[in-house]
Amino acid sequence: MRRRSVTFAAVGAAFVAGAVVGPMVAAWAQDPGGRAETYRLLNLFGDVFERVRAEYVEPVNDRDAIENAIQGMLSGLDPHSSYMNPRMYRDMQVQTRGEFGGLGIEVTQEGGYIKVISPIDDTPAARAGVKPGDLITHLNGNSVQGLSLQEAVEQMRGERGSTIRITIRREGSDRPVELSITRDVIRPQVVRFRLEGNDIGYIRLTSFNEQTETGLRRAMQQLRQQAGNNLRGVVLDLRNNPGGLLDQAVQVSDDFLDQGEIVSTRARRPEDAQRWNARSGDIAQNLPVVVLINSGSASASEIVAGALQDHRRAIVMGVKSFGKGSVQTVMPIPGNGAMRLTTARYYTPSGRSIQATGIEPDIEVLSAREDAAQTVAARRDREADLRRALRNDNGAQPQAAPPLPPLNLPAGLLEQVQRMPAEGAAAFDPTKPETDHQLQQAVQLLRGMAAAPNPQRRAAR
């Protein structure tokens, strides 16, 4: 039976939990003379394993020890290869399906407690009165202190119809707030959209799961209905989108392209190289598009931004992206979870790898004035800053990627774009689009392109 594998293009965390060890079956086939050394290393692992079992200060669970060793072997390769035990593998499958049983809150961790970023509209948490800024201190009477964020999230998820009791510390309230919430099926909103004014469509993609491309098409259809004949352009917001499924990145890119290559991958063996091409059909019907990116736009987001930029189908605006140009394949291990293994690098249509370099915007626009003075040490880490990050192999290619075609913007329009907010401008508030400087510059650019006589929608590649 052929095992099903899933290909990802996303930023993932890898935790070094053991030594880099393990059998090297492929190496044996390639180098029979190396078998003696491989056997010696396997004996070394066996000796260490037995010593740990016999002499560690507390009894050691064999499965935990072996899984930690496997995790160490994989995470020692690069930042995105890892081992998933059965529970972690199930969680990953739930996330990629885009629905799960739970409460419906976006959370982070603060001071040992779980802090609510926002309840998702029309979910059990929202209906129960959970508010942004709430600190969850107890779950079913047990303190969340000492739990990791992932462990707390796992406890809040569960079967539809099951109930959980949460204790909240809320600013302005003298007593803890006790809520009993019945779990339901949660479908995170990975596609958000609205009209800016009555003429510019705004579509935000928060990740690439199985629902993304369908949601994008639905958003485009509804924006057209809302705008009537007034729709003049589209902003595709990929800021802080960490990526997800490779096939969804390909489909989203294809939605805006009529022809040409979308992305290609090159693996260890030349015969495993793959290439995806666009099919006819542009859901934006040739309207101008601006793609917003920042340092949190990674992998699948960079595939979309790179494809639309290379074909000059969209103008990429913002700041340089994260720079993750590798592809992970999730390989199930029957009865023992799965392994996430980096199996290829991907390349934009022009043949450039963005691994450890990122997508450079066509027009740099900062989100805040302080970004201009931000030091290298203070800025958000990118792929190149991660330990064991794969190198960029552009220099190893026989031909350098050709330069991109010019933007061909109407005269004087580029000069109207403001690189940073005006001094004294209101601080960014996610509930107030008028404070989003990058978005407002994108909207202004699109309106200027639409107003120009015979605007150049795209340049052929």
CB atoms within 10 A of CB 318: 28
* pTM of the predicted structure, to 2 decimals: 0.79
pLDDT on residue 377: 38
Check pLDDT > 50 for residue 88. yes
Whether residue 324 lies in the annotated active site: yes
Catalytic, out of 81, 82, 253, 299: 299
Tokens of 69: 């060793």
**Coil, strand, or helix at residue 337?**
coil
Residue 66 corresponds to which amino acid? Answer: I
Instruction: State the Cα–Cα distance between residues 417 and 239, nearest whole angstrom.
Output: 19
User: Which segment of 93-97, 101-105, 328-332 scores lowest on mean pLDDT?
Assistant: 93-97
Where residue 374 falls among pLDDT bands split at 50, 70, 90? low
Catalytic, out of 134, 237, 255, 310: 310
Average pLDDT, the chain: 86
- Give me Rg for the CA atoms of the chain: 25
pLDDT on residue 431: 77
Check pLDDT > 70 for residue 459. no
User: Which segment of 31-40, 149-158, 351-360 scores lowest on mean pLDDT?
Assistant: 31-40
Tokens of 284: 């934006």
Instruction: State the Cα–Cα distance between residues 207 and 205, nearest whole angstrom.
Output: 6
Task: Give how far Cα 105 sits from Cα of 17, 246, 365, 392, Å.
Answer: 30, 26, 31, 38
User: Which segment of 102-111, 134-143, 215-224 scores lowest on mean pLDDT?
Assistant: 102-111
Check pLDDT > 60 for residue 1. no
pLDDT on residue 32: 55
Q: What pLDDT, in 10s, does the model give residues 286-321? A: 999 999 999 889 999 999 999 999 999 999 999 999
pLDDT on residue 92: 83
Q: In terms of pLDDT, which residue wins out, 418 or 92?
A: 418
User: Which segment of 102-116, 166-180, 250-264, 304-318 scores lowest on mean pLDDT?
Assistant: 102-116
Instruction: State the Cα–Cα distance between residues 173 and 109, nearest whole angstrom.
Output: 20
Q: Counting every residue, how long is the chain? A: 461
Where residue 10 falls among pLDDT bands split at 50, 70, 90? low
Catalytic, out of 324, 350, 353, 362: 324
Where residue 15 falls among pLDDT bands split at 50, 70, 90? very low
Task: Write the DSSP string, 141-158.
Answer: TEE-TT--HHHHHHHH--
pLDDT on residue 429: 81
- At a CB cut-off of 8 Å and minimum separation 6, what does 68 contact? 17, 18
Task: Write the DSSP string, 59-78.
Answer: ---HHHHHHHHHHHHHHTT-
